[in-house]
Amino acid sequence: MLVADHKYHAVILAAGLSSRAGAFKMELSIGRRPLLHHVMASALGSVASIIVVTGHEAGRVERLVAGFRTDYSPPIPLTLCHNPLYQEGMFTSVLAGLRAVPAGEAALLQPGDSPLVRPATWLRLIERAEAGPAPAVLIPVCGGSKGHPVLLPPGVVAALTGYHGDGCSGTLKEALACYPQEFVEIDDQGVLVDLDTPDDYLRIQRLAGVHFDTDADPD
């Protein structure tokens, strides 16, 4: 694991309605593991803790996290954070998750439906943050397209925990517009892949066999 000057926490957004997927996304099987397990496992070697934000079907997500503890015996804390406002938009889940990050520490925001991000990508973003010079929001870019996880330095995390915006209509993009941003080139198409529809699920299943880092699998 990278020895960093600051602590970094993965904030995984698993509160959505799965309305277009035709099934509850977090439980869908990718290989032999639930989708959410792949997302969590990719962060294990890089962060000080994993914070999973729940909302829709919170009990099912909680059971998935409990199963992850059993299967992976993670060496870092796993925290569940419930967002009661999840139906009002993803940004409410972002804010709920950031409020669970310890004061003065950094966060990497990751959608819970993006299972193909490589462990090396998390490390690459943290290494860039540690290199300086000035703290900035770091956004991975692959082939000219922006993806996730997005790294927020401690100052931005602190500012966003008090963000209110225009009611619940605000977005992360709007909230981050006033902060310096840097795009970090990443050789990982997984930063661009998420699961919204049944077709996305089929595509991810096809890609998974060649994409996953076997070191992230507990077996």
What is the SS3 assignment for 41? helix
Burial class for 90, CB neighbours closer than 10 Å (0-12, 13-18, 19+): middle
Does 131 fall in a domain? yes
CA dist 109 and 176 (Å) reads: 13
pLDDT at 219: 44
* 39 vs 32, higher pLDDT: 39
- Say what the pLDDT of residue 165 is: 53
Q: Are 61 and 26 in contact (CB under 8 A)?
A: yes
In-domain check, residue 36: yes
Tell me how many domains the chain contains: 1
Mean pLDDT of all residues belonging to the chain: 90
Domain assignment present for 129:
yes
C-beta of residue 28 within 8 angstroms of C-beta of residue 35:
yes
Backbone angles phi, psi at 162, to 5 degrees: -105, 10
| pLDDT at residue 213 tops 50 | no
Mean pLDDT across 17-28: 89
Provide the domain limits for residue 107: 8-206
Amino acid 168: pLDDT:
42
Q: What is the pLDDT of residue 180?
A: 94
Gap between the Cα atoms of 33 and 173, Å rounded: 32
Residue 45, domain CATH: 3.90.550.10
Residue 112 lies in a domain: yes
User: Does a structural domain hold residue 218?
Assistant: no
The verdict on residue 215 lying in a domain is no
In a domain, 67, yes or no: yes
Residue 1 lies inside a defined structural domain of this protein: no
**Segment 14-40 mean pLDDT:** 92
pLDDT in tens, 45-55: 999 999 999 99
Q: How far apart are CA 27 and CA 122, in angstroms?
A: 23
